[in-house]
Amino acid sequence: MDVPELSRRELDALFEQSPVAMIFTDRELRTRRANEAFRQLTGLSDETLIGHRPTEIERGTGAANVRPIERLLVDQVLRDGIPVVNMPLARPMAGEHRVLAFTAYRVMDNDRVLGVASTLTDITESEHANTELRRANTRLDLLQRAGSEIGSTLDVRRTAEELAALAVPGLADRVAVDLLDPALLEDRARTDPDILRFRRFAVLDATAEGPGNFAIGESWTVAITQQPAVVFLRGEAVVARGEAEIREFDLPQDLVRPLMQRGVHTLLMVPLTARGVTLGVAAFSRSKTEESYDEADVRLITDLTARAAVHVDNARLYTREHNAAVTLQRSLLPRDIPSVAGLEVAWRYQPASRAAEIGGDWFDVIPLDDGRVKLVVGDVTGHGIRAAATMGQLRTTTMALVRLGCSPDEILRQLSAVVATLGEEAGATCVHAIYDPSSRRCRLASAGHPPPVLRHPDGEAEVIELPPGVVLGAAPGPYPVADRELAPGSILALYSDGLIERPGEDLADGMSRLARALADGPVQSLDELCDAILATLAPPARDDVALLIARTAPRAPGAGSR
């Protein structure tokens, strides 16, 4: 047996027995031979394959792929000699979806083109594994992003919007977040025990098709037998796949109609539960995305929603504390400033923009029987309801001591003793001034408080350097008293540090800004001056701001000095 004959038999055996599906076509792309692995993989016989081009074969490789593949073989492989390597082809086989890797290269005999050799490899399992790996990485990425992108503020609506933004479009084409009406969340009695009222806090729709239902801030009701209420009351996620299941949810028509118009095929409703309390329901739906939610999706979305619910609850509780602290703070501040002969007074109190910073700043204007007037501004260390309550104690004590005729230094010593009884964490700063309109003398004392700023009649302003005094509660004193004469038309500004304090900046810089704002142009109205100072120095306040401005009368009342 000669060598060429042996080589041909070996090549034939190699082609036919190869576990890789192989097919050879001529220059016209008509099949010349296919091996057993190809016939088994495609389910096509030699009678169907031999002598036919790909587009002439009615079944087997999937009609959607045949024409572009044939063009690719002609234009790229045969003409240019550029092989196709491991191009994925998706096609149904034996009733299931399979993925094949297609490779094709030009076969030459010296300079003559013989045809095209092609191989098919079933890569379905590896593609599934890669898909699952990508999905797992996506889930992990979403969970990591949730830690930084949800709960960036202590605002309920913003937190709901962050949950929606994280989920769309990766996990859903549309997300709506609805919370139980705030009045019901505060455990107030429902007017109808068979109805729940929700309020929309966020909605994000990537499809932007068809009309929406409820706008942000709009409320809607649902019977407790309908699915949103069932999800809320049971605290368990439910998923509906297909229009029939979605309609079986028995959703209110105002909810289900827009979903059907958008072509939603999968709807997942998840309760927002934190610390054992369900706050609302988030609805995730898919329309353009073909895949339904599987169990891994449900677990991931439930986890993300639970994390968001904690931040929503934090924001809700934070807002409630904010409102309580502001209410308490305002109730403890003076409602009306008394008129004082020889002195014009204006004031502002601006609560902090964040709940934890609320509470502790106060001011007072207290007329004395002998015609003098007491001006006070103070700031309790710490924030929140406890600070506001401590402020109330100090303000009450101050008023009692002033009525007893105590001097500024004695008042500060007594206040320090009161603060010392409130525990190691308690502390406060305070500045007291007693002004006598008849003599125009002003006695001032400070307990660790920022010094007053004085605008002279000529428009220049200066920071009054007071002798240092220790913070209230730290020691019994001493609290040295300074004495200044205030010329007619002078303006004295007492304030808390929230007005001048900025992160990373020295307080002296803030005092200089206040002095410039106080000296900026003619002053007609003290109320306008207060507003201008707040707008310039504290928009919005990181801390409480108390501002008290007093202007001496242009003429002395004529009474004797004290």
Token pair listed for 240: 């509906």
Which of the four pLDDT bands, split at 50, 70 and 90, describes residue 561?
A: very low
Q: What mean pLDDT comes out for the span 26-53?
A: 90
Predicted confidence (pLDDT) at residue 139 exceeds the cutoff of 50: yes
Angle at 50 between CA 69 and CA 118, to 5 degrees: 40
pLDDT at 54 over 90: no
**pTM (whole model) above 0.85:** no
Confidence of residue 279 (pLDDT cuts 50, 70, 90): very high
Do 3-122 and 149-323 come out as alike in CATH topology? yes
The tokens describing 224, both together, are: 């407790």
Q: Looking at the predicted structure, is the pLDDT value of residue 403 above 70?
A: yes
What homologous superfamily is domain 333-552 in, according to CATH?
A: PPM-type phosphatase domain (3.60.40.10)
Domain ranges of the chain: 3-122, 149-323, 333-552
Q: Between residues 244 and 331, which one has the greater pLDDT?
A: 244
The alpha helices in 249-364, defined as continuous H runs, are 253-261, 295-332
The proportion of the chain whose per-residue pLDDT surpasses 90, expressed as a percent, equals 37
Three-state DSSP at 457 gives coil
Residues in the chain: 562
Mean pLDDT, rounded, of the chain:
84
* Helices marked H in 489-537: 507-518, 526-537
Is the model more confident about 55 or about 85? 85
- pLDDT single digits (tens) 325-344: 667 666 666 777 788 888 99
Convert 472-489 into a string of H (helix), E (strand) and C (coil): ECCCCCCCCCEEEECCCC
Architecture category of domain 3-122 in CATH: 2-Layer Sandwich (3.30)
Distance separating alpha carbons of residues 95 and 378, to the nearest angstrom: 80
pLDDT band at 66, cuts 50/70/90? confident
Lowest mean pLDDT among 51-60, 485-494, 508-517: 51-60
**Alpha-carbon distances, residue 261 vs 67, 214, 269, 409 (angstroms):** 35, 15, 19, 75
What are 185-198's pLDDT values in tens digits? 555 445 567 888 89
What architecture is domain 149-323?
A: 2-Layer Sandwich (3.30)
Query: What mean pLDDT comes out for the span 131-152?
Result: 77
Name which of 142, 221, 139 is nearest 180 in CA terms: 221
Identify whether the C-beta of residue 366 lies closer than 8 Å to the C-beta of residue 384. no
146-156 average pLDDT score: 83
Residue 186: half-sphere exposure toward Cβ, Cα within 13 Å: 9
Cα distance between the two ends of the chain: 138
